[in-house]
Structure 1
């Protein structure tokens, strides 16, 4: 990974020259497509709304980091991409509710361009086999340098839970990591009225997935644009699960499903969206981190996956007397912080449970 990090600097200057105006934090709804359907993942391959997986990954670059909302390969001494030592591989995301994906965006900003895919297929799992929805080939390392964000669209009206990018050829070998994707996003095509002159109302999202206590916004569009009646009345089928104000702001109250309705005032024109509210996955200890020091002493810590990821990122990039701190509870003290020095570590192991 260190070799890969050094090599990324070779391309950094060229990347900055070609993408000075490039600044994207989120794939926005445009050209008739929704926003990115995949909620940001953190610290785990599993969230309340879906699951990330891959053919394999190098430590510090797990599957979920391709869905963490960070478009850069490397930032602040940490990695924010999925990567594998193999020169081929696949990266997948499985939704808890089916989607009709017809657009995907791959972000590969920074890092070593030769690790980015050259030839691949975008596929959906139909329950028994992978269905190829899109194929790409000949996307070179220089193509990724010139255009770190590349979008691909195709026709698809079928709903699937699981999609993947199946890479059959990367752009070469960079060392430790040979195949990588910084960020993968997926979108659905927005439905449009078959008769543009017929008055209608549509919403920018058909399904809204929220965690308890979180918020999001629905946007209603009334057609045609010169329609005299633009007043929309919002309502929720179950306000104990989700509420909506008269600006389309939806608030998740408790776990369950509710229907949000947008109605054009004094008409029978309505549009609806399903709100799925889930409980947050609580973060709890999930592994024993056992660190053996050069003096033979072994330290053990019962930690969460978040701490494991932070420790691995620190260990790969730190050196010398750099320290990593662990918090302990030892009576009668309120808090005890133990510092581990990088060059005093002989070995370590992670025992997940």
Structure 2
């Protein structure tokens, strides 16, 4: 009788263990995350997004942290982003907004003193950096023991740009003082029971236009069935139609607002309108793309001639870059792809 009781107890315990294990595994599965949403990069700019950093050492540009190679160095080739400073930031800007709620940083076990000790993970909301996660005292021993460091946090807001902002490294004494072999970002996979979250973002936080020129703002809304209402803070400076087309009227500054109808959910872009200055410029180059968007640039004779020569000889996915000054950035470079150009017009003055 005693043996029968003992066997029954053991069977019951095994059943409970199986049930508990099943519950834990399913809870983890429901709280899952996507694969890395940053495509493999071979330069700082791709059709999917842009890599950037506060500074970098020669041979370790920003995009090396997104090249899919998890080790720091192969022979004389570096496969990581690195900077000569103990502080700095590494960022990735998506062409379409993402609700990132997990990130992973790798080092290969090589040079653990190079990797971050204290940092924040941040998102750019169009006017300021929002801290989504903070980490401190991740030592060189931690990196050596676990070359893959994974971090999760709650975030349901959609942003285009995210960065790791390092405030303390782990004491490297060589030329490179801080770095990241690989940075990956993930979105949380929603379960059917989670409610839809309404949001709206714009593809540009700021525009700089010349009087009489136009550009287009693109709004991304969640859910995509939501209606967007556009408005300008000052129609005498810049106007906007209900398709997001912005027209510069006179010199000044205006705020363009895209708002989800019947809600207070909105996104804004600052439009700075300038008067063309003959001393520095000679023409307005207006480029119409195959998707209907028009880009306008105030260019010098040299830039215009360089563009015309490039257009005649280039083909396919060859790009031509234009530099702009758009607040709050020191400089913004736009890349025009040759096979995306439908037509262009030169207006000399």
TM-score normalised per structure 2: 0.47
Larger radius of gyration: 2
Q: Which has the higher contact order (CA 8 A, sep 6+)?
A: 1
TM-score normalised per structure 1: 0.47
